[in-house]
Every structure is written in C-alpha cells, then in structure tokens.
C-alpha cells in the first residue's frame, strides 16, 4: 500500500504556489490509517517509551492511537491558552510573527522517554518548540515521527541538527 496515494494534495492552498498535503484522507481510510500507525510504531519495537506527545491537532489523532498501541500515556502539546492547568510554554517564529505551544507542568516527568508525533514536518518551528518544552520538563525526546516530510523546507534536517532522530513515512518534494 502506497500511503502517498491516500494523502490528498490540494494545489494553491492556503495560498498560490503551495501544494497542501491533506492527511485527513489517510485518517479516513481504515486500512491506510492502520498501516500508518503500525509503521509509526514499528521503529519503537523493543524501545522504552514512557509517553507519546502529539502536536495540536492532527498529532493528537496519531499520537493517541500510537500511545494506545504502546500502552503508554499521551501528552497534548497545545496552542497557548488551551490547557486548563498550570503550563509551561515555548515560543517559535512564524513567517509573519510568533506563536506559542504549551504543555501542563506535570505532563512529563524527569527522565521519561518521549516520542514526539505530528502529521507533517515542514520548517520544523513547531516541532522544535515541542522538543524544547519536553526537555524543559525533564523528558528526553527519543524519536520525532511524522507521516509526511517536506524535505525542501528543511524541518527534519533542523531536528537532526539538534541531535534528534527523525522518521517520516512519506516525503513530498516541493511544497
């Protein structure tokens, strides 16, 4: 099964020249979704993972399914102001401006091994902020897993330069 064929491409979204890679078609395909989760879990066979952290919002879907399969806890990484308890946050640069993601202060315990999950890695800004949050909480990010890599945008390379292992199921050249 070629997961690339299940992922819809929407030209010129959100602006002209962008080829938007829509993972919702993969999530809606029962066999494709199962295959993606199995492939995201497979590299972790025999590894000690304490938590799966998923980046809002599609990372929640993927991360929740992976955490269930690994029988570990799940940590939501959310946009600023969305979590109800005391949080720590990490700001990151956008094309025009700054955004921030947060986790609860007690979401990750010191020494815990964490798998970071999201649907797509593009420039790596959000993933970098998520890694910093997990590490500030005392966790160790052992793998960053994505369904889609857009290698031309350099996000996966940026994470590797930080010393992180990165895995993606498919890559789409261009963006």
Cα(172)–Cα(175) distance, integer angstroms = 7
Q: What is the pLDDT of residue 90?
A: 97
Q: What is the pLDDT of residue 97?
A: 82
Q: What 3-state class would DSSP assign to 92? A: strand
Percent over 70 (pLDDT), the chain: 98
Cα(139)–Cα(147) distance, integer angstroms = 23
pLDDT beyond 80 at 103: yes
Fold (CATH) for 3-171: Rossmann fold (3.40.50)
> 62 and 32 in contact (C-beta within 8 Å)?
no
Q: Is the peptide bond before 57 cis (omega within 30 degrees of 0)?
A: yes
pLDDT beyond 80 at 110: yes
Q: Which two three-digit tokens encode residue 97?
A: 């401006």
Q: What is the pTM of this model?
A: 0.96
Cα(68)–Cα(23) distance, integer angstroms = 20
Q: What is the pLDDT of residue 79?
A: 96
pLDDT, one tens digit per residue, over 123-157 is 999 999 999 999 999 999 999 999 999 999 999 99
pLDDT band for position 175 (cuts 50, 70, 90): low
Residues designated catalytic: 58, 95
Q: What are the domain boundaries of the chain?
A: 3-171
pLDDT, one tens digit per residue, over 31-53 is 999 999 999 999 998 899 999 99
pLDDT beyond 80 at 96: no
């Amino acid at each position: 099964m070629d997961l690339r064929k299940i992922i819809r491409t929407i030209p010129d979204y959100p602006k002209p020249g962008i080829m938007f890679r829509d993972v919702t078609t993969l999530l809606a395909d029962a066999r494709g979704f199962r295959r993606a989760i199995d492939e995201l879990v497979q590299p972790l066979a025999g590894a000690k993972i304490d938590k799966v952290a998923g980046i809002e919002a599609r990372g929640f879907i993927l991360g929740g399914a992976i955490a269930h399969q690994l029988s570990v806890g799940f940590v939501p990484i959310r946009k600023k102001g969305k979590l109800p308890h005391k949080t720590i946050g990490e700001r990151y640069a956008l094309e025009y401006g700054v955004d921030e993601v947060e986790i609860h202060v007690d979401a990750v315990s010191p020494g815990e091994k964490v798998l970071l999950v999201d649907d797509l890695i593009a420039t790596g800004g959000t993933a970098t902020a998520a890694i910093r949050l997990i590490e500030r909480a005392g966790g160790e990010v052992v793998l960053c897993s994505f369904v889609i890599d857009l290698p031309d945008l350099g996000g996966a390379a940026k994470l590797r330069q930080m010393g992180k292992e990165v895995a993606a199921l498919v890559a789409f050249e261009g963006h």
